[in-house]
Amino acid sequence: MKKLYEFIKKNFLTKKFLSFGIIGLINTLIHLLVYSLSYNHIFSTVSQPWLLAFLSNTLAFITASTFSYFANAVFTFKPANKSALQFSAVMGVFLARLLISNLLTTGFDYAIQEWMGIDYALHQWAETIAPFMGSLLLIPIAFFALDVVFKKTDKKKSENPSA
């Protein structure tokens, strides 16, 4: 139990993780807002519920991830060197997160509507549960992945200043 506490203290009770968390909260709010707008307005003519969730989540995820990259580069990971390689690597992590997030969101959306029988027309707030649950599961994974990417791409640039 002490080792678990030390791991949590070392990795999650830090200014860096707090900054990541605050940006993540803003990111999640952006994601939920764009998801809701997409679900109810932009893609509202899509008749398949799973496709509606997939398209809405994709647009929401891209919007929120773009904000997240710039905010985390400035406030959380603070790389000395920013580069196209770094941006590409971070976007690669975001792409992997998008795929996993879409699978999770689509699965949660299906479970909420089909298994739990919640009608989004009657309970509009419930439509945000699926992307919220997907995001919640990805937070610690994203933190470690982005920390590694920012460190590695910052080193690469520092080691090779002409790149």
CA–CA separation, 12 and 41 (whole Å): 38
Q: What is the DSSP letter of 128?
A: G
Domain enclosing residue 84, as ranges: 2-159
Q: Quick one: what percent of the chain has pLDDT higher than 70? A: 94
> Above 90 in pLDDT, residue 59?
yes
Q: Total domain count for the chain? A: 1
Of 81 and 37, which is predicted with more confidence?
Answer: 37
**Which residue type, as a one-letter code, is found at position 47?**
S
Specify the pLDDT at position 161: 55
- Here the tokens at position 94 are 């975001």
In a 10 Å sphere around its CB, with 0-12 CB exposed, 13-18 middle and 19+ buried, how is residue 49 labelled? middle
pLDDT digits (tens, 9 = 90+) for 101-149: 888 888 888 888 889 888 887 888 788 888 888 878 887 888 889 999 9
For residue 57, what are the contacts with CB-CB under 8 A and spacing of at least 6? 35, 101, 102, 105, 106, 130, 131, 134
- Taking 60 as the threshold, does the pLDDT of residue 163 lie above it? no
- H-only helix segments in the chain: 2-12, 15-37, 49-75, 84-110, 129-159
Return the closest-CA partner of residue 65 out of 98, 43, 38.
98
Mean pLDDT of 28-54: 89
Closest by alpha carbon to 71, among 38, 100, 30? 30
Average pLDDT for the chain: 85
What is the length of the chain? 163
